[in-house]
Amino acid sequence: MQNIRNIAIIAHVDHGKTTLVDKIIHATNIFRENQESGELIMDNNDLERERGITILSKNISVTYKDTKINVIDTPGHADFGGEVERVLKMADGVILLVDAFEGPMPQTRFVLQKALELGLRPLVVINKVDKPNCRPDEVHDQVFDLFFNLEATEEQLDFPTFYGSSKQGWFNTSLEQTEDILPLLDGILQYVPAPTVTEGNLQMQITSLDYSSFLGRIAIGKVTRGEIKESQWIGLAQADGKVLKGKVKELYVFEGLGKKKVTEVQAGDICAVVGFDAFQIGDSFVDLENPEPLERTAIDEPTLNMTFSINNSPFFGKDGKYVTSNHLKERLTKELEKNLALRVQQTDDANTFLVFGRGILHLSVLIETMRREGYEMTIGQPQVILREIDGVSCEPYESLVVDVPEEYASRVIDLATQRKGDLHIMETKGEMQHMEFEIPSRGLIGLRSQMLTATAGEAIMAHRFTEYKPFKGAIPGRNNGVLISKTTGPATEYSINKLQDRGKFFVDPGEEIYTGMIIGEQNKPGDLVVNIVEAKQLNNMRAAGKDKDTGVAPKILFSLEECMEYIQADEAIEVTPNFIRMRKKILSEEERKRVERSAKA
């Protein structure tokens, strides 16, 4: 098994991880010379390409100097930590990719900690050394400190370092530019150990799954011990201790960007097994005579929850294909199979489900995926999960890192401290001010948009969950109230223009709206119900052509995440394939007032 290397690439969002994988693919000539390949080859999901982030881990295999290198591209965002925790089990080494200017970021720390705990051998790659203001030597020292703080072993602390630029396609053991990335590939062969193989019966843990309309469910994992063959009868060890008997129908190994059918896979290689349907991630394939399942991966618990319910707005069913509670339940249950960090709980209301996730991004990617598949639903305000620890109510805390030009530093500190954040570190990095806060997770909801507004879009924010600590008291929510529609119909330019002094609008003239829908933000606290459906009355005293140039300001466009951070407890988001609308949970104004009065009583 000296001819196999299994390596995972880990990095913070936007440090160049997927671009590096592209260069490895090109350097090992997977594509024919005349074949069109494009960029971000591994981010093949529309959402990944649009957002520029990796959401799902993926496997490829390249051959270099007669050695097969299985490369695992992992997500860089802590919200997708469940994905990272399970796929690292397949690796024997990791490439830690770090930006030569930004240095190790909070989410780098999160994934690296998981890798070091598993005893994986690290290689450090300092990327983007071609950028102005880069500081590779300083970043190298920061990486060493990070390893030391994470209690790396002496062998892990003695990591090899490579410098270069994924974009320009070169890496070297020094800052001297080379023509290609071959020094890095040589480093993988030299420093990453071959898989350790022990004698004994079959052991293979399922760490990922795939689906094919022809083959059904496909189990993916690394054969840790023994061998697995086509047509062999083996056992599937499940979480409850049961061992199911089954036959391997087909067997595949990864080759290039695809899979190759084989008859046998030896220990140390990563493979895909067809023939079992009842497996879950974490189950093990074992020998039928002497079943010895591998220990299941412990996944960190979710920190946020939201309600998912059927769309009950007046526009219900106009846009989506899947609109019933059964559709919603089936889709969420299906998501649980592969999204290990997710939890789903039925509520007292048959049409509503409580969905638990790692963070706003984790849940918004699920909602966005469902929306594109044709689902309609109503989403409630994200709530942090509180825990009782030693009789004390505790909430999740996060480490927040903000890099911002010096003139905006005071605004950032002000915003973070308003939301119960404590400033722990403040230092200068080139022209930027680097600040680290400890802040309750609740304080982060809605903070990004406020911070970008206060810093003219210059703030770079990153955060990761650290621990549960005692509840820190009330955090101020949204400062201003909202404008709510009084009637249903198309919004008119005449009415919007008349009400522009009351606030900013989220709808354009001609857009269909309904009673109780949130159509704008008021200039001051408190909600205001307005009629923007009213058209100008035309008679012989008024000229029809006078309103042509009314100068209505363009609407404010919110992304799904911004809507999730904007709404309050009595509000919801209506999500359909083509629209994202904010609304009051109770659409009728009279009903809202009645509920408010009874709550005060």
The average pLDDT across 175-196 equals 86
Structural domains in the chain?
Answer: 3-191 (3.40.50.300), 203-286 (2.40.30.10), 389-470 (3.30.70.240), 482-537+550-561+582-600 (2.40.50.250)
- What is the pLDDT at residue 399? 86
Q: Which of 200, 214, 207 is nearest to 250 (CA)?
A: 214
- What is the pLDDT at residue 42? 40
The annotation status of 576 as a binding-site residue, yes or no, is no
Give me the half-sphere count of Cα atoms (radius 13 Å) on the Cβ side of residue 586: 11
User: Mean pLDDT across the chain, nearest whole number?
Assistant: 83
The annotation status of 129 as a binding-site residue, yes or no, is yes
The annotation status of 14 as a binding-site residue, yes or no, is yes
The annotation status of 127 as a binding-site residue, yes or no, is yes
Q: Report which residue type is found at 440.
A: P
Lowest mean pLDDT, pick from 107-111, 384-388, 486-490: 107-111
310, 366, 370, 560 from 557: Cα distances, Å: 24, 21, 21, 10
Confidence of residue 106 (pLDDT cuts 50, 70, 90): low
* 284: β partners: 205, 237
The separation between CA 505 and the C-alpha centre of its own chain, rounded to angstroms, equals 30
- What is the pLDDT at residue 131? 81
433/170 Cα distance (integer angstroms)? 30
518 burial type by CB count under 10 A (0-12 exposed, 13-18 middle, 19+ buried): buried
The annotation status of 523 as a binding-site residue, yes or no, is no
> Whole-model pTM?
0.73
Which residue carries 């000539």 as its tokens? 29
DSSP 556: P
The average pLDDT across 224-235 equals 88
The average pLDDT across 220-244 equals 87
Q: Which of 107, 111, 140 is nearest to 126 (CA)?
A: 140
399 burial type by CB count under 10 A (0-12 exposed, 13-18 middle, 19+ buried): buried
- What is the pLDDT at residue 424? 92
**207 or 327, which is more confident:** 327
Per DSSP, the three-state class of 241 is coil
373/51 Cα distance (integer angstroms)? 18
Instruction: Report the residue count for the chain.
Output: 601
445 membership: H or E segment, kind and range: none
**75 or 544, which is more confident:** 75
The average pLDDT across 219-242 equals 87
413, 423, 458, 469 from 466: Cα distances, Å: 20, 15, 26, 10
Confidence of residue 575 (pLDDT cuts 50, 70, 90): very high
Confidence of residue 79 (pLDDT cuts 50, 70, 90): low
Confidence of residue 13 (pLDDT cuts 50, 70, 90): low
Question: What's the per-residue H, E or C state across 452-507?
Answer: HHHCCCCCEEEEEEEEEEECCCCCCCCCCCEEEECCCEECCHHHHHHCHHHEEECC
The average pLDDT across 563-575 equals 90
Confidence of residue 32 (pLDDT cuts 50, 70, 90): very low
Lowest mean pLDDT, pick from 40-49, 356-365, 411-420, 440-449: 40-49
Share of the chain above pLDDT 70, in %: 89
**pLDDT tens digits, 253-293:** 888 777 888 888 888 888 888 888 878 778 888 888 888 88
110, 123, 236, 294, 477 from 267: Cα distances, Å: 29, 24, 17, 14, 55
- What is the pLDDT at residue 329? 92
Lowest mean pLDDT, pick from 117-131, 177-191, 515-529, 534-548: 534-548
- What is the pLDDT at residue 91? 86
Confidence of residue 39 (pLDDT cuts 50, 70, 90): very low
Q: Quick check: 82 pLDDT over 70?
A: no
Backbone angles phi, psi at 139, to 5 degrees: -65, -40
For 258, residues 6+ apart whose C-beta sits below 8 A from its C-beta are none
Q: Quick check: 58 pLDDT over 70?
A: no
- What is the pLDDT at residue 541? 59
**pLDDT tens digits, 142-185:** 899 888 888 888 888 899 999 988 888 888 888 888 888 888 88
201, 226 Cβ separation under 8 angstroms: yes
- What is the pLDDT at residue 35? 39
For 213, residues 6+ apart whose C-beta sits below 8 A from its C-beta are none
The annotation status of 18 as a binding-site residue, yes or no, is yes
65/2 Cα distance (integer angstroms)? 12
**48 or 7, which is more confident:** 7
The average pLDDT across 116-143 equals 87
Q: Quick check: 141 pLDDT over 70?
A: yes
Q: Which of 234, 233, 227, 209 is nearest to 219 (CA)?
A: 209
Q: Quick check: 49 pLDDT over 90?
A: no
The annotation status of 575 as a binding-site residue, yes or no, is no
Q: Quick check: 328 pLDDT over 90?
A: yes
**What are the DSSP E strand ranges found in 25-173?**
58-64, 67-73, 93-99, 121-127, 161-165, 170-172
- What is the pLDDT at residue 534? 84
- What is the pLDDT at residue 301? 75
Q: Quick check: 222 pLDDT over 60?
A: yes
**pLDDT tens digits, 346-398:** 989 889 999 998 778 788 888 988 998 999 999 999 998 888 888 899 999 98
